[in-house]
Chain A
Amino acid sequence: MNVFHFMLENHDEVVELMLEHLWLVGLSTMLAVLIGVPLGILIAHRSRLSSPVLASANIIQTIPSLALFGFLLPVSWLGERADRLAIVALTLYALLPIIRGTYTGIRKVDPAVLEAGRGMGLTNSQLLFQVELPLASGVILSGIRVALVISIGLATIAAAIGAGGLGELIFRGLAMVDDQVILAGAIPAALLALSADTIMGWLERRLQPR
């Protein structure tokens, strides 16, 4: 197929953009986990906070991605470097699935098990790290998985504002009206999403509480 020939000839560029794509997605997902998991734990333990937090994350998700990029552009610290902006936007988008996954996973832990643990003299952090999180890990991971797959797709749009990644090939190909170039960006992006989904699915299964 032509597109593979093209990709082979331009493998430097494709690889460079793919690494950039992974960087955008990887960093933003990691940030979303660092922010979202603790937040999810917090609202799982304090139900009063759950509605406002989940509602806010929900609102962010409903903003169309391109619009969010647009809103953030005028913020000078963000607008200066498109990749910075993209990472902030991607992190925001990844928050809802991760917060919700964490919240649900922890709420689903059998309260009897928690009570037994507390009654036995486990401290709150011991309960969290040795009981709640391990038991919730499957659901938390499924939230991260959703976030990851969404991010890989969204990151292609980030190229529209100059953040790079595989989307750059797609947009360029569109402007040039050249299928090869479009596919050289679209196919790796799709493969990335598929692999991420598969790997995360495997991880989830391994961590299911038996």
Chain B
Amino acid sequence: MMHIAVCVCLVPDTASVFGFSDGTLDRSRITEVINPYDEYALEAALQLKERFGGGEVTVFSHAPRSGSEALRKTLAMGADRVVIAEGEGSDSWQTASILAHTLTSWYSAALPEVILCGRQSTDFGSAEVPGMLAERLGLPSVCAVSSLEGGEDGVFRLEREIEGGAEVLEVSVPVVISAEKGLNVPRKTSMRGVMEGRKKPVEIVEGSPVECARVGLGALLPVSNKKNCHFASDARALAGMLHERGLLQ
């Protein structure tokens, strides 16, 4: 049976109100949702399972157990189980270390053929965890994949966007892949899916060894990009303003 792991994190809904006090995010007005990029990863996993006519899709999340309700959406979409890896951790290094430890102990016999992650989280956007996780597991990784084909023979053909074009790659399993927007269109959850998701297991794994953070984060400062806009009366006047400022080069 094919095993597919999907790493999912929870992020503040971008529609939330972002307030900051004492140098941290005010979480009282925040709703946590599944990181949008992770939905592309999960959809890719579900499509692989369908394409190969079977397999098990397990969602791993470094989150507190209070995140289980939000994570149930992955079960409603079609994942088979959720594993919440609890543990102290504030930076990517720690998250990758906890995920690597949890995956290794969960799949004690052999690592899953495919480990999928979102390209980055939408809150911090550092895009570090997938590559760190792969290196810790001793696996190859391909980040920001926009097309994923093949796999029947243990070799995937992938595409990823680079500046001014795309790279076409081949990679053999087991592999860590991070999903870019455009890889697929994540399915909507149906009422039936939600009902079935309620019956699926959410397991809590604690006690991963905690490594020291490698990066410290200082106080968050709210920022404003507001500028004083000079309005032009018509298109010609606008072109003139740019010309006067020496912006037409």
| Chain A partners chain B | no
Binding site for B on A (CB under 8 A): none
Q: Which residues of B contact A (CB under 8 A)?
A: none
